């Protein structure tokens, strides 16, 4: 999916909502366990209920690979079921030496045909380049994350005065373009978005952490949007686990609608 196509969908739907499909079989409604593929059945119903409200879905790969071959099958069916005009993100946070990254890129861009993948940049340019070689695919680089442990490294002060996450931004921005590279910035780091936008004013940002992780939607939008909106704001647990009965999908829709309506005033 191209940048212009993403922007078109944002304005068409008046939304920049990304829904995280962090599907845990132990948390889905119990009646779904009677289906042949409970995880896919859950995802299918979430997608049917929310596809007109969001512009992206983000399966967290750990929830699928932890189930072995059955999980990978559920993942493949899920990606194939998502409408083609909705951006797909493989939230796998891969990052390794070049020949290994090449296989990761092949896995998620060719075998599973995701539009994008999250990657860790700390092994340098040769670990990122294989992902950037795929046309109309996106590499989403971890910059500043929401978890408490992010302070262990990402906020280390360097001799040049930069924090480590700022150095990552300033260095990695030269590797790709605004047409094939995005960055992850956690919603709980909304106050840092103004400084981040000085380094990468035009790049899209994937911003997880709204809802269950405590990120403030309006603060994130105020500090993070650019002329193209330029943000994909993710909510996972707050939407997909809004209900735990046979009406779980309608409860998920209600939660997604609340977020979407909060976004529409910025469009």
Q: Which residues are catalytic?
A: 93
Q: Read off φ and ψ for residue 229, nearest 5 degrees.
A: 75, -60
Q: Can you read off the two tokens belonging to residue 188? A: 């709980």
Rounded Cα distance between 54 and 17, Å, is 5
In degrees, rounded to 5, the angle at the alpha carbon of residue 206 between the alpha carbons of residues 175 and 166 is 50
Calculate the CA dihedral of residues 219, 22, 135, 198 and round it to 10 degrees.
20
**Nearest-5° Cα angle at 260, 16 to 91:** 45
Rounded Cα gap, residues 208 and 220, in angstroms? 10
Alpha-carbon separation of residue 109 from 125, 128, 141, 170 (angstroms): 19, 14, 16, 26
Kindly state the DSSP code that residue 145 receives in the 8-state scheme. -
């Amino acid at each position: 999916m191209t940048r212009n196509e993403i922007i078109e969908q944002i304005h068409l739907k008046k939304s920049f909502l990304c829904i995280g499909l962090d599907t845990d079989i132990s948390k889905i409604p119990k009646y779904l366990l009677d289906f042949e593929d409970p995880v896919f059945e859950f995802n299918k119903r979430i997608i049917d209920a929310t596809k007109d409200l969001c512009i992206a879905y983000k399966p967290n790969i750990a929830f699928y690979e932890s189930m072995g071959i059955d999980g990978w099958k559920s993942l493949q069916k899920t990606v194939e079921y998502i409408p083609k005009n909705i951006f797909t993100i493989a939230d796998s946070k891969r990052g390794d030496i070049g020949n290994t990254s090449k296989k990761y890129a092949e896995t998620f861009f060719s075998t599973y045909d995701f539009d994008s993948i999250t990657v860790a940049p700390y092994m340098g340019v040769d670990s990122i380049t294989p992902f950037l070689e795929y046309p109309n695919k996106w590499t989403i680089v971890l910059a500043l994350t929401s978890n408490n442990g992010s302070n262990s490294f990402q906020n280390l002060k360097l001799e040049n005065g930069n924090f480590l996450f700022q150095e990552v931004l300033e260095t990695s921005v030269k590797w790709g373009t605004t047409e094939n590279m995005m960055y992850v910035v956690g919603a709980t780091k909304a106050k840092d978005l103004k400084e981040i936008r000085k380094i990468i004013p035009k790049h899209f940002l994937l911003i997880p952490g709204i809802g269950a992780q405590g990120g403030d939607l309006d603060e994130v939008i105020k500090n993070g949007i650019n002329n193209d909106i330029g943000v994909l704001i993710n909510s996972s647990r707050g939407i997909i686990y809004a209900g735990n009965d046979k009406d779980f999908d309608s409860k998920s829709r209600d939660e997604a609608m609340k977020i979407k309506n909060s976004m529409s005033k910025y469009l």
